């Protein structure tokens, strides 16, 4: 039996035939079924680099040349740079039929791998192959890749709202994410994880965190960065043993202690992100008082107490959320954060518990409507007296002044409104703490 045939059998393709598409087990809303694809990913990590490279030809991805991506990104212009992460810099680009016949016109994000080494190349290959074989509305769509000489790049669909981390902790906006949007993001991310865990050989994401959740124009959450993803246990195995990698503050405690990895490790990480959505705090924040630096340790005692939950809820929400929904979401977070992995729910159970909360809005308090304008517009136009303050009672203004010192210590300014504007209201933004360090990627 030739190498090609053995390779194809490893990926569930028999003698070279295309694998059948399988539907995800997670329920989906809407009449039109989105495209779902889950090919068998068994033994992916055990393949050699040569076999992984050969597998690229079996994916439905575009193999871009370096020159094509230079054109798409205006020669990797600094003005097109979206940011930089552990992988390397990310640039915004545009591809269409003029670049390559038959290519759908769309904006893309080009992630450039910096540095050399076998491990970095393996992570790059793994991400290409995983996203080439997996397709789901809550996984970021990989358009193609580039591997030319020493240049290695990934070409994703462009996610215009950026990462969840930016909205929660680095946003230049005065107002924070509203409650309904936070729930939508939590449900979407949960569906993405449930899809990965639902295969016969589950895929464990292993690096679930706020910075790896990207948001579409309508705040649809999609998981990105599959460089650390790994096949879960199969057959009678209860776990896989691996070197500990991930991000401090998100990794499950048993994984850190033993290196034993299961799908329940992802469930714990989801619980941490859900807690970040509820509280507006980072998983680890060294700038806070000692007992509040670890989010899980600080918030866990309040999660099952409906009468105490408001003490840990994000103050920038200004009580504009359903108390019933918040309490149920907090209960889900508490279950996900159980120290014993078997006591945690599956991600399918998490989706089933969270999705109905999107309809719970009858007990959301009605706040005053405040029309907000950008700072640049405010400077350009003369402001009549009481233009903004007219919507807020005098007593509320006095109360806001007495609490100003406390709010500045938290590093936030809160909009006294249930309506959250998208434009920056101040030229200078409060500096947020940096992302927690990764445990290892080497």
**DSSP string computed for 214-256:** EE-TT--EEE---TT-EE---TT---EE----EETTTS-HHHH
d(CA 132, CA 128): 6
221: buried, middle or exposed (CB in 10 Å: 19+, 13-18, 0-12)?
buried
d(CA 54, CA 56): 5
Helix or strand holding residue 129 (H, E): helix 118-133
Strand partners of residue 94: 107
Contact 285, 291 (CB under 8 A): no
Number of Cβ within 10 Å of residue 6's Cβ equals: 10
d(CA 157, CA 146): 15
**DSSP string computed for 186-223:** HHHHHHHHHHHHTSSSPEE-----GGGEEE-TT--EEE
Measure the CA angle with vertex 308, ends 305 and 314; round to 5°.
115
Nearest C-alpha neighbor of 424 from the set 434, 413, 432, 435? 413
Look at the alpha carbons of 372, 375, 377, 383 in this order and tell me if their dihedral is positive or negative: positive
**CA 257 and chain centroid, separation:** 25
Nearest C-alpha neighbor of 133 from the set 254, 49, 210, 229? 229
Number of Cβ within 10 Å of residue 349's Cβ equals: 16
Return the active site residues: 207
Buried b (16+ CB within 10 A) or exposed e, 306-330: eeebeebbbbbbbebbbbebbbbbb
**CA 20 and chain centroid, separation:** 28
Contacts of 233 (CB under 8 A, 6+ apart): 202, 239, 240, 262
Contact 76, 92 (CB under 8 A): no
């Amino acid at each position: 039996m030739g190498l090609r045939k053995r390779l194809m059998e490893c990926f569930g393709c028999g003698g070279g035939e295309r694998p059948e598409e399988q539907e995800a087990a997670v329920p989906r809303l809407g009449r039109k079924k989105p495209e779902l694809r889950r090919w068998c990913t068994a033994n992916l990590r055990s393949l050699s680099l040569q076999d992984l490279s050969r597998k690229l030809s079996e994916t439905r991805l575009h193999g871009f040349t370096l020159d094509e991506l230079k054109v798409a990104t205006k020669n990797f212009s600094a003005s097109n740079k979206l940011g930089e992460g552990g992988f390397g810099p990310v640039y915004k680009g545009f591809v269409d039929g003029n670049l390559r016949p038959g290519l759908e016109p769309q904006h893309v994000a080009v992630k450039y791998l910096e540095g050399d080494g076998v491990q970095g190349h393996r992570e790059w290959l793994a991400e290409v192959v995983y996203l080439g074989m997996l397709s789901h509305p809550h996984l970021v769509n990989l358009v193609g890749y580039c591997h030319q000489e020493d240049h290695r790049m990934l070409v994703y669909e462009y996610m215009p709202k950026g990462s969840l981390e930016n909205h929660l902790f680095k946003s230049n906006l005065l107002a924070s994410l509203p409650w309904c949007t936070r729930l939508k993001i939590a449900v979407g991310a949960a569906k993405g994880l449930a899809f990965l865990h639902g295969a016969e050989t589950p895929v464990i994401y292993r690096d679930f965190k706020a910075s790896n959740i990207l948001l579409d124009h309508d705040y649809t959450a999609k998981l990105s960065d599959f460089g650390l993803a790994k096949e879960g246990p199969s057959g009678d195995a209860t776990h896989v043993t691996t070197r500990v990698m991930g991000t401090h503050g998100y990794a499950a405690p048993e994984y850190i202690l033993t290196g034993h990895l299961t799908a329940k490790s992802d469930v714990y990480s989801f619980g941490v992100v859900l807690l970040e959505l509820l509280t507006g705090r980072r998983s680890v924040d060294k700038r806070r008082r000692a007992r509040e630096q670890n989010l899980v340790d600080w918030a866990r005692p309040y999660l099952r107490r409906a009468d105490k939950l408001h003490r840990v809820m994000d103050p920038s929400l200004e009580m504009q959320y359903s108390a019933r929904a918040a309490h149920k979401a907090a209960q889900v977070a508490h279950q996900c954060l159980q120290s014993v992995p078997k006591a945690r729910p599956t991600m399918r159970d998490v989706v089933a518990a969270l999705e109905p909360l999107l309809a719970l809005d009858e007990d959301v308090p009605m706040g005053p409507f405040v029309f907000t304008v950008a700072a640049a517009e405010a400077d350009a136009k003369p402001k009549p007296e009481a233009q903004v303050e007219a919507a807020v009672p005098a007593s509320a203004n006095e109360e806001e002044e007495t609490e100003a010192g406390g709010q500045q210590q938290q590093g936030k300014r809160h909009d006294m409104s249930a309506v959250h504007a998208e434009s920056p209201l101040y030229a200078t933004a409060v500096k947020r703490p940096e992302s927690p360090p990764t445990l290892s990627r080497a």
